[in-house]
Structure 1
Amino acid sequence: MTEFEDQGLPLTALAVAAGRAVETTRPDALAADPFATGLVEAARSHVDFPTVWPAHPEAAPPLQQPLLLASIYIGLRTRFIDDFLEQRQQTAQAVILGAGLDTRAYRLSWPAGARVYELDLANVLDFKAAVMASFAARPACELVSVTADLSQPWEQPLLAAGFDPQQPTTWVIEGLLPYLSANAQLATLQAVLALSPSGSRAVIERAVPLPAGEDVEAKLRDFSAQTGLSMGELLARANPPDPARLLEAAGWECSEHPIRELCVRYGRTISLTATDGSAQGRPLKRESQDTGQSRGGFVTAGLPAHT
């Protein structure tokens, strides 16, 4: 396999790819990404991302346990979006906003003649393309990579790449909105509305609103000190638009899916549990206390034909 020097890839993109790699190795895997481990290894990150679900997760190094816990959520999210994309209402055109190291263009079934647009930063898309080429992997669709900073307007680069705003489109907004300011989230959702004719559909991972209060502000100050992000930048994300309300006002039919629904649907709990006979099923110290409620859940939506 070709080796690649550090290219300044976002750690979040690598962490999500590692989460898919871990999910793929589980005996009860909800999704399989045969490329995820290779992408993580090729990045040669200084972070020791786990790529295998261990037989005894409680024995994993303390720094890896939160990553293993996150992989459970990533597995749920991946399967949910995969299922949505492979439903019967597939469109011939799809857009993945903030594609990162996602490999759905390679590993899912797409309609004949489908075109998939992936938008992200140039170094992310270039790295992924080079690694996938080193695997001799071929997309199962026409894959179009579009360089864009999604915190800024991105419609023109998409249109310049050949996107047809008159054609029904499937939109995937996964893991993006939480990293945008509330204003940028609104602009992104409005752009989706403007570029979507009847017959379009979308799956959107929500951003979590931050409740007001001194406790929250204290936590934000601590987070700001740890990450170097300004309080202003953090507070700019505090009151995100509600995707369901915005789309419904534009005539879309929406369904909301909290994380608890996904856990029930796919038979998962967001916790690390012992697998030895003496403690079968007993939650360990590392577990989510809210079964994912700290996350925003998902919205699926479709724009019906005008009557």
Structure 2
Amino acid sequence: MLKRLTLLVVALSVASAQSPCVLRVEHALGTACLKGRVERVAVLDWRPLEDLLLLGVKPVAGADLKDFPKWVPLDLPSGLPDLGSRTEPNLERLAALRPDLILGYSGFQGRLYPRLEALAPTVLLDYLPPKEQLSAMRAHFRLHARMVGKEGEADRILRNLDRKLAQARSLLAQKGLLQKPFLLLQPWTDGQVANVFTRDTLASELLEAMGLRNAWTGGAEAFGLSRVGLEGLAALFREHPSALVFYIAQPNFAPKVEALKPAGVRLLALPEDTWTYGGPASAEALVDRILGALGR
């Protein structure tokens, strides 16, 4: 099996070297050379999968497909092959699909880049840059669209997102909530610790684009999040007694946080499957869930 994979890689590499680039794409780990119309895209991460599906493009395969519909508000096409884990995709299965392009995330598939690039032009983007993640999400969506010839559709989808954000600002203005301070928490399953979203996260940037203001000023750890225990949360609530506290629900967290919050702090639960790392479809879903928690 390994010998067949090696021969296939060599054949693909020879054929690829014989034609010029139609489009060069800079990405987190290098430059991809696209040599013609892209029709067979293999996707190794959820963000590019969401983007392609939203653009009306069916990839030849995806990864971690069982869990994708639990988080991302899009339906998967029937019969879409699953390449296995996002961090350990099946490369023999991937090679057999003969993709024109491979899309993924530098954080999960970066160590596989040389092997992926040997199979097909590979674009691995950093979906969680240290700052301006909302701008990065828009730019990545446009780039995915450009590679598959769907730039006009991407413009339409991003205009819809802008309209939704403007409508949200209008609704918040009617409620007297513009520039209202907020905290956004994602509790751990043990209910003893929560991640607090800093201003340098996609979710926080979306809430601020809606017209709210992130009250958290602490430094970030991984992925732009700060880890805070129950005592830290109690102090945070005392420091920001007028803040709207949104939290992604965990069954054993609500009783604990209700017991420690002072009077006046407003706790607002979001559904447990709220996804904060996606593309435009996930962004619109988050806006809707925030407005839903506020009673629209």
For the criterion TM > 0.5, the same-fold answer is no
Which structure shows the bigger proportion of residues in helix conformation? 2
Larger Rg: 2
| TM-score normalized with structure 2 length | 0.29
TM-score by length of 1: 0.28
